[in-house]
Each structure stands twice: as structure tokens, then as C-alpha cells.
Amino acid sequence: MAVAVLKRLLDLDENQVASPVFQRRADAFLFQRVAGRPVRIVIGGRTYPAGQTDRSGHFQAEIDLDDEQVAAAADRSARDGRWIAYDGLVDDEERETVLGRGGRVQLVDACGLSVISDIDDTVKETNVANRRELLANTFVRDFRAVPGMADLYRAWQASGTAFHYVSASPWQLVDCLDAFLTDVGLPAGSLHLKLFRLKDSTPLGRLPSRKRSKRRVIERIMGEFSGRRFLLVGDSGERDPELYAAVAKRRGEQVAGIAIRSVSGRASREKLRARLERLARRLPRGTFRVFEEADELQELSNAF
């Protein structure tokens, strides 16, 4: 039924429905929940209990590792920083099952600079303001990078900057988005996506909704790394400017700056400019900057 809804919304023909891109993206939303099962995490050959899956099939756990365990498990040869690999195990009714492919956790120092970046229309062309284009770019077309952003982010990464991608994209696309980052040369980083279920919404109609969850995630990251400073990068297509400005007002000592990519939307260019200028005036001079092309931010590399 979900595939039929997508087919109708996007007016797809049979060839498009059968395409590898559509099949891979649509299949990510069609899964069987596994609720109430004990989960364990394997790191560096050691197994740690991680509680039980909830009724949605998700689980969350916090695992403490000492310096010796981190040193034994960390992959220091990775070009994009230090990472720890892990596997998940779930106790099925009859056997122990590995939870899909393994994952990895980014190791971030207590002090330094981090970039908190949006994804859609910031580093990936999505056209969130146009619902039909949004759905087509999400389910039918190959992901396309915003020109110049990968080069810019790699320049920042070379100076030791860590990355956290906080997006309203649904978590079902995590593998597709992770592959996109790698394919276009964007630095790897932690991915924080939106909890989304088809039955919780009109047919994909609220896909880009941010509500308050994005701000909570950003402030949690900043709270966990209270010794680090953060550059917040987003776009003008939705509510990134207002959200980032609110975070800067609350945590100004941690905000190194805000960079907003100006994109076409429902409002006129004059209204957009007035909206962004109004936000900039509420913050210390130089904190809030607007750009259209990635090379307009190259000068920030010297400050990092």
C-alpha cells in the first residue's frame, strides 16, 4: 500500500517503480518491527547489554568504556578521524541474530571545533520547499551534492573539525545518506535523523517537519561536548535560521558562528532577505552570515 501511495503521489510509471533507486529507498520504509527483544552490543570483542527494543523496534543504550578499552577498539587508521566499530545482536526466539550490518561510533575530543550541519538543501540538493520535488529527490533520483560543500567541509576537517549531521530526513534513509556522504566526499560524522513512521503521518506529507526535535538534538550534542565550540550550518528553506538563532541566544559561548545557505522558497527574495537580516541583528555582529555559494565561506577555514 505504501508503494502504491508513492506511485500515485509521484505519478510514477512501471519502469520508475522498478528502478534500483526507487526500490532501495522505498524498501527502507518497509520493515518488520522486532519489539521486546534483548539487545547486546559487541565492541572490541567484548559484549555489553543494551536493554530491550521498544514497541517500535528501536533501542537506546549508553555504554561506558575506559581509556584502555577505547584504545583497543579504536580504528586510528581511518582518514576521517577516530572511530569505534560495533555490531548489534538480538536474542531471537530460536537463535541469536546479528542486527544488519555493523556500525561505528565517532570519537570526539572534549575540546575543539565541531560543525553541526543540516543535510537537505545544505549539502544535498532536495528542494524541500516544493513537496513534489522533495519526494522525487528522496525516492526516485540519485542524491546530488550542493556544489562546493564537500571541498569546503574537507578543508574544515583537515584542521581537526568534527561533524554532526542533524536532519529532519527520516532515519530509514540512514544507509542511503551515509553512502551519499562517502560517495561525494563529505566528511563522515554522526547522523541524527528524525523518527518517522508512515502510520504517524498523512502519506509522507510531513516528511520535512522539524518541530522541536531538531533543536533538542542540537542542544543535547552541545551539552555533551560542553568544552567544544560549534559552527551551525543550514539553509533558509525551512526553519534553520530561526532555530540556530535561538540556540545561539541560549548557548552563545559555544556558538562560533551560523552560516545559512540562501535557497529559493515560497517567499520572495525581498521577504527572505528581510527575514534573515532581522535574525542577524539579534545576534552579536559577525555571528550570522548568509551565503549562496560554498566558496563564500572559504575564509572561515582560516579561523578554524
Q: pLDDT over 90 for what percent of the chain?
A: 49
Pairing state of beta strands 288-291 and 190-194?
A: unpaired
Q: Is 181 among the domain residues?
A: yes
* Residues 270 and 159 occupy one common structural domain: yes
* Residues 98 and 159 occupy one common structural domain: no
Q: Please, which residues have CB within 8 angstroms of residue 10's CB and are 6 or more apart in sequence?
A: 16, 132, 135, 136, 139, 140
**Residue at a domain's end among 106, 122, 155:** 106
The pLDDT mean for the chain works out to 86
* Residues 47 and 145 occupy one common structural domain: no
pLDDT tens sequence across 96-106: 666 656 788 88
Nearest Cα to 35, choosing from 51, 23, 12? 51
* Residues 233 and 129 occupy one common structural domain: yes
In this prediction, residue 212 carries a pLDDT of 64
Please report where in the chains the cell 508512515 appears, as a residue.
198
Q: Using CA atoms, how far apart are residues 69 and 89, in angstroms rounded to an integer?
A: 20
**Residue at a domain's end among 89, 106, 123:** 106
Q: Is 6 among the domain residues?
A: no
* Residues 46 and 126 occupy one common structural domain: no
* Residues 273 and 160 occupy one common structural domain: yes
Q: Which of 23-37, 156-170, 219-233 has the highest mean pLDDT?
A: 219-233
* Residues 79 and 122 occupy one common structural domain: no
Q: Where are the beta strands (DSSP E) in the chain?
A: 38-43, 46-52, 74-75, 83-91, 96-98, 103-106, 112-117, 162-170, 190-194, 228-235, 255-261, 288-291
- The predicted model gives 272-276 an average pLDDT of 94
For the cut 60, the answer to whether the pLDDT of residue 303 exceeds it is: no
In this prediction, residue 203 carries a pLDDT of 44
More confident residue, 139 or 256: 256
* Residues 164 and 260 occupy one common structural domain: yes
Q: In 3-state terms, what secondary structure has residue 104?
A: strand
* Residues 65 and 85 occupy one common structural domain: yes
pLDDT tens sequence across 144-154: 999 999 999 99
Backbone phi and psi for residue 184, each to the nearest 5 degrees, phi listed first: -95, 0
Minimum mean pLDDT range among 184-188, 285-289, 297-301:
297-301
What is the CATH number for 150?
3.40.50.1000
Please report where in the chains the cell 551534492 appears, as a residue.
145
Give the domain range for residue 222.
Answer: 112-303
For the cut 90, the answer to whether the pLDDT of residue 162 exceeds it is: yes
* Residues 71 and 134 occupy one common structural domain: no
Q: Is 298 among the domain residues?
A: yes
In this prediction, residue 202 carries a pLDDT of 47
* Residues 47 and 131 occupy one common structural domain: no
* Residues 119 and 254 occupy one common structural domain: yes
- The predicted model gives 15-22 an average pLDDT of 87
Q: Using CA atoms, how far apart are residues 114 and 108, in angstroms rounded to an integer?
A: 9
Q: Is 8 among the domain residues?
A: no
More confident residue, 199 or 182: 182
Q: Is 49 among the domain residues?
A: yes
For the cut 90, the answer to whether the pLDDT of residue 30 exceeds it is: no
**Residue at a domain's end among 81, 106, 131:** 106
Q: Is 16 among the domain residues?
A: no
Q: Using CA atoms, how far apart are residues 278 and 275, in angstroms rounded to an integer?
A: 5
In this prediction, residue 299 carries a pLDDT of 75
How many domains does the chain fold into?
2
